C-alpha cells in the first residue's frame, strides 16, 4: 500500500463519525438511507479503527419543529490542514517509486473499491461516506514542497502523485493545489509521475507538456470499465469511461507519455473487459499499460461487500469467491508481491491475458526512466546566485 503508512496528519483533530457502529468481527455497518447518499458509492459510514463510537441518547427535547423524521442529505464538507510535511517516503519493495505527495485527503470520486479509504481512519473519520464527503485540503502544500526540496540533504527521485487520493478530483477545480505543486516541480526540474481518473488534468497540460519535453513527466489514467452504467455505480463522481479515453488522447497530443491503467480488475465483474479496455486506450493514444487486481484492505472489504449486496446481490457470492480464491480464502492478503496480483489459477490467467494483449497491441514497451539530472534547488529571495 503506497501511502497508508504515512504519519498521522497534523492540524486535524479527531471527528466522531455519523452512524458510528460496526461489529467488531467485521460485520456490515449501519446503512445510510439511499435518499441521503445519492451520487455516492459507500452505503454506510461505519466508524474507523481510531474513531470514538457515538451513542444516540434521547434528551427529551425531540426533533426541531418541522424536522420530525427528516435527515439531511450527505453533502461534501471541506476543511483545511496546516501541513507540516508533504513528501511521504515509501519503502514498499513492490512499488516503482519511493516517495509521493497528496494535495488532498479523502476523495470525492468515491470509488467503492479504493484501497486508500482506510487512510481516513487516521483522521478520526469513517472510510465509508466520510472518505467521499469530508475532504481535507492542504492549501500550503506547494510552499511546504518548495521548502522540502530546498533542504540540503534532499536527494532527487521521481515524485508520485495520485497514489493515494486523486489530485484531480472535483475540488481541484476550486483550490488549484495540484497545479501549484506542479509549478514548483517544473521550476526545480523535478521529475513527476501522476496517476488519475480526472479529466481535470487537461487544464495542466501546459505545464506537463513542457516538463515531458524535458523528460520530467508521465501520466497514468485509470480505466476500470467501459460500461458507463457500471462505472456510475461503483465510481460515481469519476468522469465517464468515454471521457477518460478522451483525456488519454489529449494528454498524448500534448506530448506527455500516458499509460492506461486497467485498475483494479474486479474478478467476475470487469475482467471480461480487459482486452477491450486495452484496445480502446491504445486507439486513444496510450503508449503503455499496467494492471492491478482488486485490493480490499481493512475497512474496504466491508464497504465493498455492502455495495455488492445492494447493487448486484445476485453476483456478490461469485465475485467474492473469486477474490478469496486468489488470497488463500481471505478477502485480502497484504504480502508484498502478492497484494496487487493475487495467486492461483485465476490470477495467472489474468496475467497471461494481459501480457498477450499488450504484445498484440504494441503496449509492452517500457517507458524510459524520468530524468533526474535537471534538478535544481528552488530559489528564494536572498539566495546567492550561481555564476554558471
Domain ranges for the chain, please list them: 44-54+77-361
Arithmetic mean of pLDDT, 374-381: 87
**pLDDT band of 2, cuts 50, 70, 90:** very low
Arithmetic mean of pLDDT, 299-310: 92
CATH architecture of 44-54+77-361: Alpha-Beta Barrel (3.20)
How far apart (Å, rounded) are the C-alpha atoms in residues 30 and 216?
46
Average pLDDT, rounded, for the chain? 85
Arithmetic mean of pLDDT, 186-202: 97
Arithmetic mean of pLDDT, 54-74: 58
* pLDDT reported for residue 55: 52
Using left for φ > 0, alpha for ψ between -120 and 50, and beta otherwise, residue 266 falls in beta
Arithmetic mean of pLDDT, 271-282: 97
Arithmetic mean of pLDDT, 348-359: 96
Q: What proportion of the chain, given as a percentage, has pLDDT over 90?
A: 63
How far apart (Å, rounded) are the C-alpha atoms in residues 180 and 183?
5
* pLDDT reported for residue 270: 96
Dmax over CA atoms of the chain, in Å, equals: 77
pTM attached to this predicted model: 0.84
Grid cell of 306 as nine digits: 455492502
**pLDDT band of 180, cuts 50, 70, 90:** very high
β-pairing, 99-101 vs 88-89, is antiparallel
Residue 9 has pLDDT above 50, yes or no: no
Grid cell of 264 as nine digits: 483494479
Residue 381 has pLDDT above 70, yes or no: no
Amino acid at each position: 500500500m503506497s501511502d497508508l503508512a504515512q504519519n498521522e496528519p497534523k492540524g486535524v483533530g479527531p471527528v466522531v463519525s455519523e452512524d458510528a457502529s460496526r461489529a467488531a468481527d467485521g460485520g456490515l455497518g449501519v446503512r445510510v438511507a439511499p435518499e441521503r447518499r445519492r451520487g455516492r458509492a459507500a452505503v454506510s459510514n461505519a466508524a474507523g479503527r481510531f474513531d470514538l463510537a457515538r451513542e444516540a441518547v434521547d434528551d427529551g427535547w425531540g426533533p426541531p419543529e418541522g424536522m420530525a423524521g427528516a435527515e439531511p442529505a450527505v453533502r461534501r464538507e471541506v476543511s483545511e490542514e496546516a501541513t507540516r510535511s508533504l513528501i511521504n517516503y515509501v519503502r514498499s519493495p513492490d512499488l516503482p517509486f519511493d516517495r509521493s505527495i497528496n494535495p488532498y485527503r479523502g476523495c470525492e470520486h468515491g470509488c467503492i473499491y479504493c484501497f486508500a479509504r482506510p487512510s481516513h481512519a487516521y483522521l478520526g473519520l469513517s472510510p465509508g461516506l466520510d472518505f467521499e464527503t469530508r475532504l481535507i485540503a492542504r492549501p500550503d502544500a506547494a510552499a511546504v514542497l518548495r521548502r522540502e526540496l530546498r533542504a540540503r540533504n534532499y536527494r532527487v527521485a521521481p515524485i508520485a502523485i495520485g497514489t493515494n487520493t486523486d489530485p484531480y478530483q472535483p475540488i481541484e477545480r476550486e483550490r488549484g493545489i495540484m497545479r501549484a505543486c506542479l509549478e514548483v516541480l517544473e521550476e526545480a526540474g523535478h521529475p513527476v509521475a501522476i496517476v488519475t481518473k480526472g479529466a481535470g488534468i487537461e487544464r495542466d497540460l501546459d505545464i506537463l507538456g513542457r516538463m515531458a519535453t524535458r523528460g520530467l513527466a508521465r501520466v497514468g489514467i485509470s480505466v476500470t470499465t467501459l460500461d458507463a452504467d457500471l462505472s456510475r455505480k461503483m465510481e460515481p463522481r469519476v468522469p465517464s469511461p468515454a471521457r477518460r479515453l478522451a483525456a488519454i488522447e489529449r494528454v498524448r497530443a500534448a506530448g506527455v507519455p500516458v499509460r492506461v491503467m486497467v485498475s483494479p480488475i474486479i474478478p467476475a465483474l470487469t475482467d471480461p473487459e480487459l482486452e477491450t479496455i486495452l484496445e480502446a486506450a491504445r486507439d486513444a493514444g496510450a503508449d503503455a499499460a499496467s494492471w492491478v487486481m482488486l485490493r480490499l484492505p481493512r475497512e474496504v472489504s466491508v464497504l465493498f461487500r455492502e455495495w455488492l449486496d445492494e447493487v448486484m446481490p445476485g453476483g456478490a457470492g461469485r465475485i467474492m469467491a473469486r477474490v478469496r480464491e486468489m488470497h488463500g480464502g481471505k478477502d485480502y492478503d497484504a504480502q508484498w508481491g502478492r497484494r496487487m496480483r493475487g495467486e492461483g489459477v485465476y490470477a495467472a490467467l489474468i496475467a497471461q491475458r494481459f501480457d498477450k494483449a499488450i504484445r498484440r497491441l504494441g503496449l509492452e514497451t517500457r517507458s524510459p526512466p524520468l530524468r533526474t539530472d535537471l534538478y535544481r534547488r528552488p530559489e528564494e529571495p536572498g539566495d546567492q546566485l550561481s555564476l554558471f
